[in-house]
């Protein structure tokens, strides 16, 4: 009976280890990029920039507007992009990255996103 229990536990552990999916970080060059402005972003009236759940709100907003499932979305601060002015079109220094399924990029490009390059800061 002891050997059966050990065998059973070994099989369970091996199954659990082999079934772990690897969480791959998406490649930057596959992202679409948007440089956030003070108040000229398409979602400025609907998504709070200061909320802790900004990425989630933005993802929901973008999916609703484009009917495209977003795989990943994130916002990073790039200090070199900060513009110290109060005009709506001045850059905040925040850069938004979204990863979408291949072939569905046009809706985001039409909204002002650009294709990422390998030289963009992460």
* Residue 79, domain CATH: 3.30.70
pLDDT attached to residue 117: 83
- Which conformational region is residue 21 in: left (phi greater than 0), alpha (psi within -120 to 50 degrees), or beta? beta
Mean pLDDT of the residues in the chain: 82
pLDDT attached to residue 52: 83
Residue 2 in domain: no
Residue 16 in domain: no
Confidence class of residue 20 from pLDDT cuts 50, 70 and 90?
Answer: very low
Residue 18 in domain: no
Residue 97 in domain: yes
Residue 33 in domain: yes
Residue 6 in domain: no
Residue 77 in domain: yes
List, for residues 33-71, the tens digit of each pLDDT value.
999 999 999 999 999 888 788 999 999 999 999 999 999
Residue 1 in domain: no
Instruction: Name the residue range of residue 49's domain.
Output: 25-115
Half-sphere exposure of 63 (CA within 13 A, CB side): 14
Confidence class of residue 13 from pLDDT cuts 50, 70 and 90?
Answer: low
Number of domains, the chain: 1
Please state the separation of Cα 115 from the chain's center in Å.
14
Confidence class of residue 109 from pLDDT cuts 50, 70 and 90?
Answer: very high
């Amino acid at each position: 009976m002891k050997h059966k229990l050990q065998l059973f536990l070994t099989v369970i552990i091996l199954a659990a280890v082999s079934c772990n999916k690897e969480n791959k970080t998406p490649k930057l060059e596959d992202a679409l990029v948007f440089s956030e402005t003070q108040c000229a972003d398409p979602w400025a009236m609907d998504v709070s920039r200061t909320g802790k759940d900004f990425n989630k709100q933005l993802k929901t907003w973008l999916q609703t507007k484009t009917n495209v499932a977003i795989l990943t979305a994130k916002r990073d601060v790039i200090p070199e992009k900060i513009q110290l002015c109060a005009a709506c079109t001045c850059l905040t220094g925040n850069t938004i990255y979204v990863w979408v399924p291949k072939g569905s990029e046009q809706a985001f490009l039409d909204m002002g996103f650009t294709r990422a390059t390998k030289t963009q800061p992460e």
